[in-house]
Structure 1
Amino acid sequence: MRIGSGAGFAGDRIGPAVDLAARAGLDDLVLECLAERTIALGQQRKLRDPAVGYDPRLRARFERLLPVTGEHGVRVVTNMGAANPLAAGAVTRDLLVDLGVRGKIAVVTGDDVLDRLDLRVPALEDGIPLADHGAVVSANAYLGADALLPALDTGANVVLTGRVADPSLFVAPLAHRLGWELDDWPRIAAGTLVGHLLECAGQVTGGYFADPGVKDVPGLAELGFPFAEVASDGTATIGKLAGTGGVVSTGTVREQLLYEVTDPTGYRTPDVVLDFRPVRAEQTGADRVRISGAAGMARPAELKVSVGYRAGYRAECGISYAGPNAAGRARLAADVVTTRLRGTGLRIRAEVLGALRDSGEPTDECRLRVAAMAPDPAAADVVCHEVEALYTNGPAGGGGVRADVREVIGIVSAFIPRSDVETRVTVLEADDAAA
């Protein structure tokens, strides 16, 4: 089968996904749009308005994508449901009706475990109890392929989820189409390897790889996204469409292989524990790399949970200086701000950006950036006010003040027994909405 990657994060482009759907002969297209902080922010939006919390770009992406996937018979699997998959499903159903496209949406829920997570357990990162980090606003378990297979069994054109482990978004459709059993560890390991390589989309086609003069990548402005041709035994070839920018090479594949992997001998996912050591990557043609050799051990008994908590407020503000001695005036401004804020107890960072040219000579234009973390918006605003006051109370020639105060959602993680997580599939029909 052939499976493509249509997104690697919440802010990704939609054009390459549409191109894949139209020209790549795909069976499935996966859009991975969720990160730890993304889902916590989605939960935060949902607390303010229960009708939202899903990916804010969902409708705009699907307006362009779903007519094309419908025309070419490509199934879409995505975690754009974020903190509110059911609302995302309803939006998608209504969009299909508006577009005059018939379809079925399967929505997977159950990753939200805030009501059953013991907040006394220590965070994996620092050993401090979860509750002691701050007010907890979200707790989402990383679901695996077993949660998605019932959704795929419905025959849905679109499968929407919340928090699912990134590789599992690919493992589920691979197992579904190729008839793999979820306890066939070698094949599930192979599928997880494919998913891990595709999950960040343009990274494996040269996006995050590019470094001019060191690792040159052609056509980066028109970067194409990857697909994988996967055999029943799990061996696969990673490629991209002809005529698109970027490159698929053993270099791009090997870099992505180790991306976000702390232990290559035992990479834990909800589906398998993957050992990368036997993996082989072989260039078989232009923009084609064959991967094989993944080894797997039985899946963990626990699921990882991403926990979001209120970590305070960040103030970030700046002012520019121009003309002779611009850097000296900016440094004096930094000294004024830090001196005036010395008694607040806040940790202040003040830095002058662009003070020197590449030659080492001072520039005639630079910018002071001041940042701080504060316990509440009022304290954060004090920082920004001091920067704004530099207009007339600081060194000469300051201008262009910009100030931003926003809440910070901190992220820690923990484990939860798999048995404590219950998933459900809800099916929505565009035909029903049209009637």
Structure 2
Amino acid sequence: MKRIKRTKNIRIGCGAGFADDRVDPAVELAERGRLDYLVFECLAERTVALAQLERLRDPDAGYNEWLVERMEAVLEPCARQGIRIITNMGAANPVAAAEVVAEVARRLGLGGLRIAAVTGDDVLHLVKGRPLPLQDGPGTVSTVNGLGEDVVSANAYLGAEPVAAALAQGADVVVTGRVADASLFLAPLAHEFGWAPSDWPLLARGIAVGHLLECAGQVTGGYYADPGTKDVPGLERLGFPLAEVAEDGSFVVTKVPGSGGRVTVATVTEQLLYEVHDPAAYLTPDVTADFSRARLDQVAEDQVAVSGITGRERPAELKVSVGYRDGFLAHGEISYAGHNAVARAREAARVVRERLTLAAIPVSEARYDLIGLDAVHRGAGAGASAGAGAGASASAEVGAVPAVDQGEVRLRVAARTDALVQARRVGREVAALWLNGPYGGAGVTRDARENIAIASALLPREAVAPAVSLKEA
């Protein structure tokens, strides 16, 4: 890859904020962002557990489904401009994902590109069957061994150090599994500026860069937008963010000029507080960051300067996401329109509820929602039902919400069962409404799938051993 002489500032862009994010804003960043690094953050808690299940079925699977498309879109412009790529799209299989990146590079004529795989986050062997306390286990289960054989994955949140090590070894593309989101952005800063692994204020500023960029379009106005209240222009071509970072950790959040969205003190403030329980003690694998005295200044259009971030020593333990089998989920929907639509939908919910009992379909939990009426702001009607069917807990009566004038409504039934066949039968009862009444139901959808739930545990960081493997395309 062509190398660009570094200036005193480093420019980092975010090409994705979740697994299914768009590709074209990343291409825009690669082509016009004048970047040094492009980061794709695509791994949520359940995403990696589901990826582990894929890998169990196929040892060569378990990475992000859009990996090839993204790499086909950005590898050439990044290689041409000397932009290095960091991504956690490796999910449950970073080594296989790195080979996929190498294959795409060869196909694009980019031979010699160096691709690193960061491993070591998979700690199932350290966790499964052990009395490790769970912070948020199901019901009365308080330790990992209490989950028994239902445990399917355990991934520790690695920090920036192994990613920085991969960059130090000359990697043009770094593919990881479970690395803490903000750490993906801290790593190139620590590498480029030579920040010490115990320089807590500098590391905290790098984490702040990552925290503000990690959700991509959220900070450029996507999740901020509220038409008529908080208007954001050009959402259909929302630009993804980048940060220009100085060696002292001060930085400016911005986006490619002319792209949709906006970067303001308000959009940055909302993202700064996103998923932060204590702004004075934001725990990460690298540092305990303190955002409580952050200063945000609008220095130009779509440019917000961030300062005042500090930090202190990192936690002694690493967070581990433990994925476990948690029954099966059934889901079915049907629409009703025209006169008396809401009453017919409520009657349909009642029918399904009674049918689950009559057909002896064991359901541990169930919800009956009238989408657009009570599915989110839950009242005492159909949507309030906490359980239904054989073995379910008691719930409010369907139809207790006063009637409203609604031209159309969609009934959604969701239930939890212990077996796939039971979940499929719940969906079949929804589908049966089509001909078995009440009249006028249409647009039936249904599905049934295994549910993978997530609980959290802690491991001493010295028990986790990250590793880097490097290959050429």
The two structures have a TM-score, normalised by structure 2, of 0.88
Distance 2:469 2:247 in 1: 29
Partner deviation per Cα, 1:257-312 (whole Å, 9 max, x = no partner): 11011111211111000111121111101000000111111111111111111111
Q: Does the alignment pair 1:216 with 2:231? A: yes
Between the aligned partners of 2:247 and 2:363, the Cα distance in structure 1 is 61
Instruction: Give the alignment of 1:404-423 within 5 angstroms.
Output: 404-423=447-466
2:318 is paired with a residue whose SS is strand
Are 2:417 and 1:374 equivalent residues in the alignment? yes
**Do the aligned residues in 2 keep the contact of 1:236 with 1:292 (CA within 8 Å)?**
yes
AA of the residue aligned to 1:14: V
Where does the alignment leave 5 or more consecutive residues of structure 1 unmatched?
A: 431-435
Q: CA deviation at 1:64?
A: 0.6
User: Conserved in 2, the CA contact under 8 Å of 1:28 and 1:75?
Assistant: yes
Give, in whole Å, the separation in 2 of the partners of 1:299 and 1:348: 42
**What is the correspondence of 1:183-222 to structure 2 with a 5 Å cutoff?**
183-222=198-237
Q: Structure 1 residue 361: deviation in Å?
A: 5.5
For residues 37 and 395 of structure 1, the distance between their equivalents in structure 2, rounded to whole angstroms, comes to: 38
Q: Which residue is equivalent to 1:106? A: 116
Where does residue 249 of structure 2 map in the other structure?
A: 234
| Residues 166-185 of structure 1: per-residue CA shift (max 9 Å, x gap) | 11101110011112111111
Shift of 1:354: 4.2
Preserved CA contact (<8 Å) 2:334 2:410: yes
Over aligned residues, Cα RMSD in angstroms? 1.5
SS of match in other structure, 1:116: helix
- SS of aligned partner of 2:364: coil
1:130 pairs, out of 144, 147, 152, with 144
1:364 equivalenced with 2:407 (yes/no) = yes
Q: Is the 8 A contact 1:355 1:365 kept in 2?
A: no
How many residues are matched?
A: 427
Structure 2 counterparts to residues 114-125 of structure 1, below 5 A: 114-117=124-127, 119-125=130-136
Following the alignment from structure 1 to structure 2, what is the Cα–Cα distance between the partners of residues 354 and 151? 49
1:43-62 → structure 2 map (5 Å cutoff): 43-62=52-71
* Alpha-carbon distance in 1 for matches of 2:418, 2:287: 41
Q: Which residue of 1 aligns with 2:303?
A: 288
Q: Would you say 1:14 and 2:23 are equivalent positions?
A: yes
Question: What CA distance in whole angstroms lies between the structure 2 residues aligned with 1:353 and 1:198?
Answer: 33
- Tell me how far apart the structure 2 counterparts of residues 414 and 59 of structure 1 sit (CA, whole Å): 33
Matches within 5 A, 1:1-400: 1-102=10-111, 103-117=113-127, 119-126=130-137, 128-133=142-147, 135-342=150-357, 344-354=362-372, 362-400=405-443
Q: Give the Cα–Cα distance (whole angstroms) in 1 for the partners of residues 292 and 443 of structure 2.
A: 52
**Deviation string for 1:374-411 (max 9, x for gaps)?**
11111111211111221222211222211011111101
Q: Which letter maps to 1:270?
A: P
Q: Tell me, in whole angstroms, the C-alpha distance in 1 between the residues paired with 2:363 and 2:103.
A: 51
Structure 2: how far apart are the matches of 1:351 and 1:171?
A: 43
| CA-CA distance at 1:71 after TM superposition | 0.9
On the 8 A contact 2:134/2:143 being kept in 1, the answer is yes
1-structure distance, mates of 2:18, 2:324: 21
CA distance in structure 1 between the partners assigned to 2:202 and 2:190 by the alignment: 9
Q: Is the Cα contact below 8 Å between 1:283 and 1:290 reproduced in 2?
A: yes
Deviations 1:194-216 (A, max 9, x none): 11111111111001111111111
C-alpha distance in 1, partners of 2:277/2:455?
A: 16
* Counterpart residue type for residue 374 of structure 1: T
**Secondary structure of the corresponding residue to residue 207 of structure 2:** helix
Which runs of 5 or more structure 2 residues have no equivalent in the other structure? 1-9, 375-402
1:201-256: per-residue Cα shift (whole Å, max 9, x none)? 11110011111111111111110011111111100011111110101011011111
Deviation at 1:352, TM superposition (A): 2.3
Tell me the CA shift for residue 323 of structure 1. Answer: 3.0
1:122-150 per-residue CA deviation (whole Å, 9 max, x = no partner) reads 21125711233461111000001112122
Partner of 1:426: 469
Instruction: Check whether the contact 2:116–2:471 (CA below 8 A) recurs between aligned residues.
Output: yes
1:133 and 1:311 in contact (8 A); partners too: no
Structure 2 distance, partners of 1:278, 1:114, is: 39
* One-letter identity of the residue aligned with 2:436: N
Cα distance between partner residues in 2 of 1:400 and 1:248: 41
Q: Report the Cα distance in structure 2 between the residues aligned to 1:107 and 1:345, rounded to whole angstroms.
A: 43
Q: Does the residue aligned with 2:125 lie in a helix, a strand or coil? A: coil
Alignment CA distance shift 1:9-1:211 (3 Å): same
Structure 2 residue aligned with 1:433: none
The 10-residue stretch of structure 1 (113-122 or 291-300) with the greater mean CA deviation from structure 2 = 113-122
Q: Post-superposition shift, 1:151?
A: 0.5
SS in 2 for 1:341: helix
Aligned CA distance change for structure 1 residues 142 and 355 (closer, same or farther; 3 Å): closer
CA gap of 1:287–1:399, structure 2 versus 1, over 3 A, is same
**Aligned mates of 1:407, 1:94 — CA distance in 2:** 33
Q: Aligned letter for 2:134?
A: A
Contact 2:363–2:416, Cα closer than 8 Å, also in 1: no
The structure-2 alpha-carbon separation of the partners of 1:416 and 1:386, relative to structure 1 and needing over 3 Å to count, comes to: same
What's the offset of the Cα at 1:355? 6.0
Letter of the structure 1 residue corresponding to residue 213 of structure 2: L
